[in-house]
Structure 1
Amino acid sequence: MQIDDTDRRVLRQLMAEPGLAMADLAERAGVTQATCWRRIERLTESGVIKAQQAVIDWRALGYGVEVSLRFSLDKTDPRAFDDFIDAAREVPEVIGIETFLGRVDLRLNVIARDMAQYQEIYRRRILTLPHIADIEALMLIATIKDSDGVPL
């Protein structure tokens, strides 16, 4: 889908403050409310805007530990990926699942309130996931940039 400068202005403002009222969004984008509404509707219908959602800061809810776990799977079973992903989805503390091409097959992002809880999650829920050949853990120290925005 082709977008023009008006679409870009609307999208930039929407990414900057997704909770803006339509009137404020239109004013900041320099268009009328009707134009803003039509543009958002068109961008949503075409799939450019996938969803508007609340972003919850899990740290504010008391989760102080995030660990990125990289997995290589035993791929002798043709269902290895599907079985692993299905089981990983059932772990409530897993906040992200990504697949890769290369040495690492998957990455899980896991949160916990503290290291004791992480250790419990790791032993009881992560190590029991199917088809694991190798695991590498990376503990998050700081997030420098975290953006889903695109350069418009």
Structure 2
Amino acid sequence: MIALDETDRALIRALAEDIHASAGALGRETGLSQPACWRRIRRLRDAGLFRGARLDLDAQALGFGVTVFLGVKLATKGRVSLEDFERAVAAIPEVQTVEHVLGAYDYRLRVVARDISDFERVLRRRLMTLPGVGNLDANVLLSEERRPGPI
């Protein structure tokens, strides 16, 4: 684990807001010269703090008006069934996230669809046919007040 000072934290916050900010702009914001800023960013990247840059798409603008969170309880448990399920669910493009969780369900999925009938198609043809699926519990997203941001 790398030791972070306030300047490192300020750089991380600034990069979380705008990944495309120049080292000069970030340096001015944090009180560093451009070369010093680049060195800090490279040190943070080399330490593994950044997993990469991502494009944050607006699902609604792309025509995906429904988001559903699915709780999935597997009928059988074991290492093979977990791996089979994870491999199969990873191939479904409508499934945005797969989280292996502890609690009432084994997995929590975030699924996007164009509308409810499109979600029903994905549910019946893809999700319910996944290996090992026992019970499913669906929660439709009504609104999202806060998107995940920097820690």
TM-score (norm 1): 0.92
Which residue number corresponds to residue 108 of structure 2? Answer: 107
| Residue deviations 1:10-69 (CA, integer Å, cap 9, x gap) | 111111222212221221222111111000000000011221222112222111000010
Who is 1:64 aligned against?
65
Paired with 1:40 and 1:115, the residues of 2 have a C-alpha distance of 44
1:75 shift after superposition: 2.4
AA in 2 matched with 1:147: P
Q: CA RMSD in A?
A: 1.3
* 1:9-48 equivalent positions in 2, closer than 5 A: 9-48=10-49
Aligned to 2:128: 127
Higher mean Cα deviation, 92-101 or 16-25?
16-25
Q: Are the counterparts in 2 of residues 74 and 80 from structure 1 also a CA contact under 8 Å?
A: no
In structure 1, what residue type is equivalent to 2:71? Answer: R
What letter is aligned with 2:39?
Answer: R
For 1:103 and 1:115, the matched residues in 2 are separated by: 25
Query: Identity of aligned pairs, percent?
Result: 33
In structure 2, the residue corresponding to 1:60 is in which secondary structure? Answer: coil
Gaps of 5+ in 1: none
Letter of the structure 1 residue corresponding to residue 66 of structure 2: V
Which stretches of structure 1, 4 residues or more, deviate above 4 A after TM superposition?
none
Give distance in 2, aligned partners of 1:109 and 1:95: 5
Question: What is residue 142 of structure 1 aligned with on the other side?
Answer: 143
Q: What does residue 118 of structure 2 align with? A: 117
For structure 2, the 5+ residue unaligned runs are none
- Output the amino acid matched with 2:47: S
The CA distance in 1 between the partners of 2:5 and 2:77, in whole Å, is 49
**Partner SS state of residue 69, structure 1:** strand
Post-superposition offset of 1:79: 1.2
